[in-house]
Chain A
Amino acid sequence: MNRSMIQASVTMGQIQHKLDVIGHNLANTNTPGYKSRQADFSSLLFQQIDNLSDEGIDEAANQEAAPYRLTPDGIRSGSGARLAHTNIDLSQGNLKQTDRALDVALLEDNQLFQLQVATENGLETNYTRSGNFYLNPLNNGQMLLTNADGLPVLGEDGQPIQFADDMDGMQIREDGAILVNRNGVEAVEAQLGIVEAVRPRMLEAAGNNRFRLTDNADIVGEGIIANADGQVQSGTLETSNVDISKQMTDMLMAQRAYQFSARSISTSDQMMGLISQLRS
């Protein structure tokens, strides 16, 4: 089959993936703490084709015919483009005032809250930027601090945060300490566990606006996640950092790239048609 058709169709498939990423970003424009992703291309394999070599041709005649060959022997034919990687852009989103005591926004890049998730392999720590927390009553007269999906938020000691439920009010200080008011007396009863993603490329999306470490991350070593002294602001939510105009521009670009490849296929197809008409 015509190689250019394979190249173009491979590339179209990859461009589709880029459109998927853009679509996902646009869909999450209003998700608190969502971090946009960016996809970049890389060229695919090059194939060395040993076409007619210059050896064997009389040197003098060769000099006359092609005196200035610029590149090494053979020709190199590429096989299209592929999506290289999808980078998370962990930059800060805008802050939105909500005046709700349990809405907390992180104020520095790369910092994350920790959540406890029960999986088939036991408990796992997930990470999120989304700070819309809730208190869920437990059966034993305790209240559990959870995220919107009911997953326990981890404290500085790596344990879920619980309070006795006879409180009059609570507020979250700038350093992440949780002040609980009981009978007019305020006391720090817990501390939010805030970590910093040192190498965010080792985080994979776990759905529901959460990240988890990739399976090979523990082999790779430490230093991917570090404890951080975070700065938080309560009564505030971090909005998504998706830049709609940039996403739309990227989408237009991807669509045109798709069209170029499609046009290349149809041109190649017409060339194939001409070949088939040879024997009519």
Chain B
Amino acid sequence: MLRGFYTAASGMMANQRMQETLSNNLSNAYTPGFKSDQGTMRAFPELLIQQMGQTSVPTSNGGLNLPTQKQIGSLHTGVYMQETVPKFSQGDLRETGIETDLALLNGNLPDENGFLFFNVQNEAGELRYTRNGNFTVDGQGFLTTNQGYYVLDDAGNPIQTGGMEFDVSDNGTVNVNGANIPLGISYTPNSFDLVKGGNGLYAPGENAVPLVDARLGQGINFNIQQGFVERSNVDPAQAMTEMMNTYRSFELNQRVLKAYDQSMQKTVTEIARLG
């Protein structure tokens, strides 16, 4: 049997999915606070191939056939895209001059995979995290994301700024008419626990380590820049290169698939041809 048929097809499918990830990265190359995704491929579970045979042992009443099995080796039956891992790294800052734009800058973080986020509330009232500081003030004077979700303070309440005129200090305190409201900034020791959702929002995954208030944690430093947004950390040159790579890998798998097809063709047309 031709074992590699579906292996080659799975390679094509995995590369197509990789292409989707890269394409999405390129689409978001200019989305503030976007973190690029990296696809990782993984082989399907390993199979052990065994040779099935028999040896015959001579006995008094004829022969006795004993089955024997000899291990040939292992075979992977294909590849799939196992996970898309966001690359959590600081994006560059871009100045907009608009006071409602805030950029969150990581300082020293105690954990290698630690990361900081703004706290926002989604339409269902749940706590979500975002790096997109392209905020605005809604009709009622609350600070919201560009989708209209409330940006929360450290007590989990929406922030009433009244109008567009407010100052945010380096340590993330919003000063409105003399009142100081600390922005809610959360810290996760393991950023890979977070699940990407739409509109740049992250939700904690099923077994996520709970996020903590960044101000209470030990050794966590951050900086808020008003009038700036954090740019996407997608590197277009890298994404284009990976896209070329993916395309060629796809093409190679297609070649293999065609080669298998030609073998099949020979099986159909040439074996058992009479005359």
Instruction: Give A contacts to B, CB under 8 Å.
Output: 2-4, 7-8, 10-11, 38, 40-46, 48, 51-52, 57, 61, 65-66, 69-73, 75-81, 84-85, 87, 89-91, 110, 198-202, 214, 216-217, 220-221, 223-224, 253-254, 256-257, 260-261, 263-264, 267-268, 270-271, 274-275, 277-278
- A277, closest chain B residue (CB): B254
Residue of A nearest to B34 (CB): A43
Q: Is the CB of B164 within 8 A of A200?
A: yes
A45, A77, A260: the one contacting B17 at CB < 8 Å is A77
- Point out the residues of chain B lying under 8 angstroms from A84, CB to CB: 134, 146-147
Supposing A38-B98, A87-B136 touch, asked if A77 and B21 sit within 8 A by C-beta, the answer is yes
Q: Closest A residue to B96 by CB, please name it.
A: A38
How distant is B269 from chain A, measured CB to nearest CB, in Å? Answer: 16
B261 at the A interface (CB under 8 A): yes
Give 14 A-B contacts (CB < 8 Å), ordered by A residue.
Answer: A7-B24, A52-B80, A65-B43, A70-B83, A72-B208, A80-B28, A199-B137, A199-B163, A201-B137, A224-B139, A268-B19, A271-B16, A274-B250, A275-B254
B23, A264: Cβ atoms under 8 Å?
yes
15 further contact pairs, Cβ within 8 A, besides A69-B82, A264-B19: A2-B19, A4-B24, A43-B132, A51-B80, A72-B206, A75-B84, A80-B24, A80-B28, A81-B27, A84-B146, A110-B163, A201-B137, A254-B30, A256-B236, A257-B30
**With A38-B96, A201-B137 as contacts: A43 and B198 at CB distance below 8 Å:** yes
Most central of A10, A42, A66, A223 by chain B CB within 10 Å:
A42
| Interface pair B139/A46, CB less than 8 Å apart | no
In the complex, chain B residues whose CB is within 8 Å of the CB of A263: 26, 240, 243
B136 and A198 within 8 A (CB): no
Identify which of residues 124-156 in chain B touch chain A, using a CB-to-CB cut-off of 8 Å. Answer: 132, 134, 136-141, 146-147
Q: What distance in Å separates the Cβ of A126 from its nearest Cβ neighbour in chain B? A: 18
Render B101-124 as a binary contact track against A, CB cut-off 8 A, 1 for contact. Answer: 000000000000000000000000
Is the interface on chain B under 10, 10 to 19, 20 to 34, or 35 or more residues?
A: 35 or more
Q: Which of B23, B199, B243 contacts A7 (CB 8 A)?
A: B23
Interface residues of B in 13-46 (CB under 8 A from A): 15-17, 19-24, 26-32, 34, 37, 39, 42-46
Q: Are A57 and B83 in contact (CB under 8 A)?
A: no
* Complex contact B192–A61 (CB within 8 A): no
Closest 4 CB pairs of A and B: A220-B139, A72-B205, A4-B23, A198-B163
B126 → chain A closest CB, angstroms: 16
| B24 lies within 8 A of A271 (CB) | no
Which residue of B has the minimal Cβ distance to A260? B26
**Neighbour of A77 across the interface among B31, B84, B200, B257, CB < 8 A:** B84
State whether B42 touches A66 (Cβ < 8 A).
Answer: yes
In the docked arrangement, what's the CA distance between A45 and B79, Å?
Answer: 26
Determine which of B42, B139, B200, B247 lies in contact with A267 in the assembled complex, contact meaning CB atoms within 8 Å.
B247
Would you call B136 and A220 a contact (CB within 8 A)? no
A214: nearest residue on chain B (CB-CB)? B139
- A203–chain B nearest beta-carbon distance, Å: 11
User: Which residues of chain B are near A72, meaning CB under 8 Å?
Assistant: 193, 195, 205-208
The answer to whether A264 and B243 touch across the interface, beta carbons within 8 angstroms, is yes
Is the CB of B217 closer than 8 A to any CB of chain A? no
CB proximity of B58 to chain A, nearest CB, Å: 41
A66 to chain B, nearest CB (A): 6
The residue in chain B whose Cβ has the minimal distance to the Cβ of A198 is B163
Tell me which of A11, A38, A216, A267 contacts B27 (CB under 8 A): A11
Q: Is the beta-carbon distance between A46 and B196 smaller than 8 angstroms?
A: yes
* Cβ contact of A278, chosen from B43, B132, B164, B257, cutoff 8 A: B257
Which residue of A has the minimal Cβ distance to B236? A260
**Bound: A261/B243 CA distance, A:** 12
Evaluate whether A221 and B198 lie within 8 angstroms (CB atoms) in the complex, with A41-B28, A75-B83, A87-B98 already known.
Answer: no
Q: Is B82 in contact with A51, judged by CB distance below 8 angstroms?
A: yes
Q: How far is the CB of A189 from chain B (nearest CB, A)?
A: 32
List chain B residues, Cβ under 8 A from A91: 97
- In the complex, chain A residues whose CB is within 8 Å of the CB of B82: 51-52, 66, 69, 75
Q: How far is the CA of A198 from the CA of B32 in the complex (A)?
A: 25
| B85 in the interface (beta carbon within 8 A) | yes
Picked from B31, B80, B146, B206, the residue with its CB within 8 Å of the CB of A81 is B31
Q: In chain A, what residue has the closest Cβ to B139?
A: A220
**Would you call A41 and B30 a contact (CB within 8 A)?**
yes
Across the interface, name the chain A residue whose C-beta is closest to B144. A201
- Shortest distance from the beta carbon of B211 to any chain A beta carbon, whole Å: 15
Q: In the complex, how many angstroms separate the beta carbon of A102 from the nearest chain B beta carbon?
A: 30
In the assembled complex, how far is the CB of residue A260 from the closest CB belonging to chain B, in whole angstroms?
4
A65–B229 touching, CB < 8 Å: no
Closest partner residue, chain B, to A80 (CB atom): B27
B182 CB within 8 Å of chain A: no
B134 touches A40 (CB 8 A): yes
In the assembled complex, the Cα of A44 lies from the Cα of B197 at a distance in Å of: 9
Q: CA A40 – CA B199 in complex, angstroms?
A: 12
Cross-chain contact B24 with A77 (CB below 8 angstroms): yes
Contact A40 B22 (CB under 8 A): no
- Cβ–Cβ contact A40 & B164, under 8 A: no
Chain A residue contacts of B183, Cβ below 8 A: none
